[in-house]
Amino acid sequence: MPRALICGVSGQDGAYLAKWLLEQGYDVWGTSRDAQVASLGNLHALGIAERVTVLSMAPRDFRSVLEAIDRARPDELYNLAGQTSVGLSFEQPVEALESIASSTLNLLEALRFLNRPIRFYNAGSSECFGDTGTTPADEATPFHPRSPYAVAKSTAHWLVANYRTAYGLQACTGILFNHESPLRPKRFVTRKIVEAALDIAEGRAQTLTLGNLDVWRDWGWSPEYVQAMWAMLQHAPCDDFVIATGESHSLRDFVAAVFAELGLDWQRHVVQDPALMRRSELSYSGGNPDKASRLLGWQAERRMPAVARELVSALLAQRQAGEPSPPRGRPT
């Protein structure tokens, strides 16, 4: 039975990845800063908490990282931990660099020290590309990070590439564009939009306040994207891949799609507040997943309209069943 260790197993992608790997017959382990008190809410939501072995690990402590990997003895290691919010990274830039770049370096150094045939996946980000105009980014597109989060992800990306070349590690980075699910915390704009639309439909609110509606993003579905992570580690030789739908839509279109699912006219309820606009906001973000399609056989099935529909359906079902929402919490 192959064994996988997921750093950040309690997050959106970590939980869906754990579920996918269990379905493939893996022995799944995960890490949390303190396994004894971790709520593991997303694992419980997917009904798999009892099937995942969780270890305590402090990603910024090299000894802790080394001991966790040595204890788990995985065949595959997935690095999904670290700060996940672009907006928060402007408020906590040191946290962004340390939780993403320094933690990735510790993992790579531990793998080099242990010298075992462990395949390593690193969670990259489309934010590394910056604003590419209206040209979808592929693996050859230069990085122009415009936030502390993107700088940290860019650093981690090149660390992985360097260790792969210099030390022969079986390591790769998945450059994932936006991907959503019902497990997204409420601080993410997609979740905020769906929750607000449901409140308006139920008569509990009248308006939704947002920032810039004219930004364009490539939105996919998280349960599909974690399958691409796994596929990367099955591919030889290890390489980096852009994971995206290949279609970009404006936030305005996303809002309209969500409200339309509930029979609402979004223009009657949405107001804009310049105070909510980010520093160095990216006007356009889109990905070209051709390489993943050719070499991994992976393609996104759900595009933005389907993502919006799935989110509304899932969160509406949660409300009707009286299920708790994912905790607001700090980034994993």
Known catalytic residue: 149?
Answer: yes
Torsion sign, CA atoms 329, 4, 230, 26: negative
Count of other CB atoms within 10 angstroms of residue 21: 24
CA dist., res. 123 & res. 100, Å (int)? 9
Candidate list 76, 89, 103, 127, residue with the active-site label: 127
CA atoms within 13 A on the CB side of 12: 27
Query: What is the crossing angle of helices 304-321 and 189-201, to 10°?
Result: 60
Structure tokens at 129: 């590309």
Candidate list 121, 149, 163, 284, residue with the active-site label: 149
Candidate list 125, 147, 154, 181, residue with the active-site label: 125
CA dist., res. 66 & res. 36, Å (int)? 19
Count of other CB atoms within 10 angstroms of residue 87: 15
Which three-class secondary structure state does DSSP give residue 85?
Answer: coil
237 upstream amide cis, omega within 30 of 0: yes
Count of other CB atoms within 10 angstroms of residue 327: 12
Count of other CB atoms within 10 angstroms of residue 252: 17
Residues annotated as catalytic (active site), given as ranges: 125, 127, 149
